[in-house]
Structure 1
């Protein structure tokens, strides 16, 4: 019989570009990671709040990163009322809307944290996704830079709780007032120069990547990279370029120190926030906006030092820019400083995994009065990659509860209740700390014994529970240690003839009375605790 040519073609399973699927190991590790962040934020008195994925597009407004036109870079659509809606671009703009809408009911200052996915309608690339998770903490209603200092300390503490060792990260702090003052000093103040000002800020932001000479080119006519692609520069004259470079050179780049040493202890000693601020004040203190911003940085440095956060952990760094337009004061980034080897075999640093700053004008867009605010956001996916690189126990799959698979040798309706009883007992069992002993999976497929064993292996199960007709008649179950069994199967012929091997075989598969099922599983799990 010929195939029906009129049958519709099967859909092709394909993933949209810029989006990723996550398997169970990644999901479980991310959940552990988020739990640690929540605990850290909670210790600082922050409360959770959740906002929807979708906001009115005008609530996002012009506050999008490095875009020349409002609303570029967001996924937008119209509802039945022809209102434009957008998937949230970050978690800060939705918070501003939430606070404004619930202003009278919230305690001020209002400390909150949020975790969730954000969406960017941008061209995807390596490590650049259209959907990714952020975890934010914000203080709304406090105009003092003590709030900014708190956020920086919170960022440092959170890195260490996640397994990033002291010396492997630094919280870098700058002030947009200082940056704006420098822009005024080179004649780029005011709305008319917004485009060139943004080009200058982007050039400063490339200091770690291209070095001072690369930044000089970007501040001037432009820079051609190794592939021949040309990036148009800001078109500054030589005097203005020298002024900007003197600004960014007030603080040596992390990882080199003033003496060129890469030793972490030497690098940490080489940093002195007070000296950095004094150097900047000597060069730009005549500008009122610069002077104001520098005094705010000095206060943050003093608060951090008083709390025990030395310059090696919280560092004043004039090269920190931050791309979002809504920042109005201190800005900060969490940079990881340890080296890693990328896919091309090059030794690189992870760079920034979190950032934020003060945004005193964002909430006030919805309110008649000004509402100061500050906060930061952790890039969860990027930080997760970093935690894997440092082998943080938080992302170690061994931290998962062990899995036990209960096989179903006889799937007749009269026998399934017994198998269900086994799996239920295992799910209710507890360890010596009154925590769940294990996860338990009742096999619900239609395959035979060998396929069920392969299923258990693929699931990463520690052991399998087996009861066929002979075990049922004897009132027993067989417990098969899959880890030990795999080790024994891989042993050489000489080893397999040894008494020790035979003894371990008895440990790898043994029978127990049905009433001792949980205790038998407990014996197996104890080998790998």
Structure 2
């Protein structure tokens, strides 16, 4: 007999399947995020997975490489279409297309899958979910301040405590001012600027010495790999370091009176620990993160440029507005390390970072870092309308945040109770069994009829795999008597742990009861009530 060719069942690289309990856990988290967004007055909107490729803005591929970075195909009218790369570019298209009928400012949120045609790797997928919130049509940085406060509130509502996270804020204009101050302000220096920003982004990982090397000629790591540096002069590199470290971080003994109980406590003054020791404080003095001093230090570095002055002013406004609502530096903090894809943003940028460490599934200690980010992107909607349309927003990386919350023990990873299963003991009476299921469903009890073709033992195994709380059994004898048997599977497992003899098991029939068929709903309800 000739062999039959069979397809190989295989999942494409960079994609994942999701089991029922994973989906339900994610939906639980999404419901909390959605509730918080709506509390702030944001409304839902949904855009399709596919957009015209040229609508994707900065992700537009080269004309001769239409699949670079995005999954693209050509329509029958020879127009290039692409799976969306993020949720922001589709929102910009939607707002532009419906601009006249939408209220301005327009406040919306969206949750959905995005796709990236990139090489997959550990923790790097080609399909993942984002949850965005954006305000379009609000030029004031009050909109940015509100987004930062909403990000902090969202993480707290998900169960994180203050100190487990921080929303870090920076400004594209301040960074542009820094680049101008070291002679990298023109378009011809775009590649060097990118190298500088990448070096700044490595501050947590490599420290100031490592960043200095990356700003200069380059850095050789422990494995022997060499990373080429930005090629700055010593003077320019020191100026960048003074921005991100040194005087770029500020501590003082003054607790901010405008945000009582919510300023970041740094510790006790130790001149050996601080990059820029505060000499006027005696050792042992209580130290707090001083946002005002930090901005004063930054202004001394970038204040000679117009972009720098504008950026500092906007950051001061954000601090003033968040303080007025009781958000101090423990939750919302100005930080030099926040870079956020600078080709995309035009003003304030922010990033929600988790600060706690937890063991992962392999027992390794991990720190998740950034789980959400965004900023002001005043040019994106304007591409469609030809007029200035201010916009700001942020995006939560759903999968990353979900993983962190599960490891932190804030989202239950255990499977929830499944449906009640009605077993089929006599196939000629399947209509009678189906009627039992209909009765249970009418009472609001999740239930199902076994639809396979196997016998009693296999049906019980099926119910166990479905995590059923109980099964309903009615053979010919029970049918004649007008009764049903109910077997509490959850209680049965508990009782079975103390029974070692098979004869005792058969005779005791643990957690199994017989009730009149008319009392089916009440009996099942009583069993379910035990396990809530």
Tell me if TM exceeds 0.5: yes
Partner in structure 1 of residue 323 of structure 2: 305
**Matched residue SS, 2:167:** strand
Partner in structure 2 of residue 417 of structure 1: 431
Instruction: Give yes or no for contact 1:320–1:333 (8 Å, CA) kept in 2.
Output: yes
Q: Deviations over 1:375-398 (max 9, x none)?
A: 0000000011011012124x4446
Partner in structure 2 of residue 462 of structure 1: 469
1:525 is aligned to 2:531: no
**Matched residue SS, 2:531:** coil
Cα offset, 1:39, TM superposition: 1.0
Q: 1:25 aligns with which of 21, 27, 31?
A: 21
Instruction: Give yes or no for contact 1:61–1:71 (8 Å, CA) kept in 2.
Output: no
Counterparts of 1:62-101 in structure 2, within 5 Å, are 62-63=58-59, 72-101=68-97
**Matched residue SS, 1:366:** helix
Q: 1:474 aligns with which of 452, 471, 481?
A: 481
1:405 is aligned to 2:401: no
Gaps of at least 5 residues in structure 1 are 430-435
- For residues 378 and 336 of structure 1, the distance between their equivalents in structure 2, rounded to whole angstroms, comes to 12
1:380 is aligned to 2:380: no
Q: Deviations over 1:157-192 (max 9, x none)?
A: 111111222221111111010011101111111211
Cα offset, 1:70, TM superposition: 9.3
- For residues 106 and 287 of structure 2, the distance between their equivalents in structure 1, rounded to whole angstroms, comes to 36
- For residues 64 and 224 of structure 1, the distance between their equivalents in structure 2, rounded to whole angstroms, comes to 34
Partner in structure 1 of residue 348 of structure 2: 330
- For residues 99 and 131 of structure 2, the distance between their equivalents in structure 1, rounded to whole angstroms, comes to 22
Instruction: Give yes or no for contact 2:418–2:466 (8 Å, CA) kept in 1.
Output: no
- For residues 337 and 24 of structure 2, the distance between their equivalents in structure 1, rounded to whole angstroms, comes to 36
- What TM-score results when the alignment is normalised by the length of structure 1? 0.89
1:130 is aligned to 2:126: yes
- For residues 164 and 104 of structure 2, the distance between their equivalents in structure 1, rounded to whole angstroms, comes to 35
Q: 1:60 aligns with which of 34, 43, 56?
A: 56
Q: Deviations over 1:440-481 (max 9, x none)?
A: 121100111111111111111111111111111111111111
Q: 1:251 aligns with which of 246, 249, 252?
A: 249
Aligned CA RMSD, in angstroms, stands at 2.7
**Cα distance change on mapping 1:190 and 1:287 into 2, 3 Å:** same
Partner in structure 1 of residue 260 of structure 2: none
Instruction: Give yes or no for contact 1:252–1:258 (8 Å, CA) kept in 2.
Output: no
- For residues 276 and 336 of structure 1, the distance between their equivalents in structure 2, rounded to whole angstroms, comes to 22
**Matched residue SS, 2:472:** strand
**Matched residue SS, 1:124:** coil
Instruction: Give yes or no for contact 1:281–1:294 (8 Å, CA) kept in 2.
Output: yes
Q: Deviations over 1:119-165 (max 9, x none)?
A: 11111111110000000000000000000001011111111111222
Partner in structure 2 of residue 39 of structure 1: 35
User: Which deviates further from its counterpart, 382-391 or 216-225?
Assistant: 216-225
1:513 is aligned to 2:516: yes
- For residues 136 and 450 of structure 1, the distance between their equivalents in structure 2, rounded to whole angstroms, comes to 49
Instruction: Give yes or no for contact 1:63–1:70 (8 Å, CA) kept in 2.
Output: no
Partner in structure 1 of residue 255 of structure 2: none
Instruction: Give yes or no for contact 1:335–1:353 (8 Å, CA) kept in 2.
Output: yes
Instruction: Give yes or no for contact 1:77–1:84 (8 Å, CA) kept in 2.
Output: yes
Instruction: Give yes or no for contact 1:62–1:70 (8 Å, CA) kept in 2.
Output: no
Partner in structure 2 of residue 432 of structure 1: none
**Matched residue SS, 2:387:** coil
Counterparts of 1:330-349 in structure 2, within 5 Å, are 330-342=348-360, 345-349=363-367
- For residues 526 and 344 of structure 1, the distance between their equivalents in structure 2, rounded to whole angstroms, comes to 36
**Cα distance change on mapping 1:425 and 1:25 into 2, 3 Å:** same
Partner in structure 2 of residue 218 of structure 1: 214
Instruction: Give yes or no for contact 2:264–2:289 (8 Å, CA) kept in 1.
Output: no
Cα offset, 1:484, TM superposition: 1.5
Counterparts of 1:160-199 in structure 2, within 5 Å, are 160-199=156-195
**Matched residue SS, 1:422:** helix
Partner in structure 2 of residue 433 of structure 1: none
Counterparts of 1:268-307 in structure 2, within 5 Å, are 270-307=288-325
**Matched residue SS, 1:170:** strand
**Matched residue SS, 1:61:** helix
- For residues 20 and 361 of structure 2, the distance between their equivalents in structure 1, rounded to whole angstroms, comes to 24
Instruction: Give yes or no for contact 2:59–2:85 (8 Å, CA) kept in 1.
Output: no
**Cα distance change on mapping 1:330 and 1:513 into 2, 3 Å:** same
- What TM-score results when the alignment is normalised by the length of structure 2? 0.89
1:353 is aligned to 2:360: no
**Matched residue SS, 2:48:** coil
Cα offset, 1:96, TM superposition: 0.5
1:156 is aligned to 2:123: no
Partner in structure 1 of residue 458 of structure 2: 451
Cα offset, 1:226, TM superposition: 2.9
Counterparts of 1:476-491 in structure 2, within 5 Å, are 476-491=483-498
Q: Deviations over 1:82-130 (max 9, x none)?
A: 2111111100011011101110010000000001000111111111100
**Matched residue SS, 1:445:** coil
Cα offset, 1:310, TM superposition: 1.4
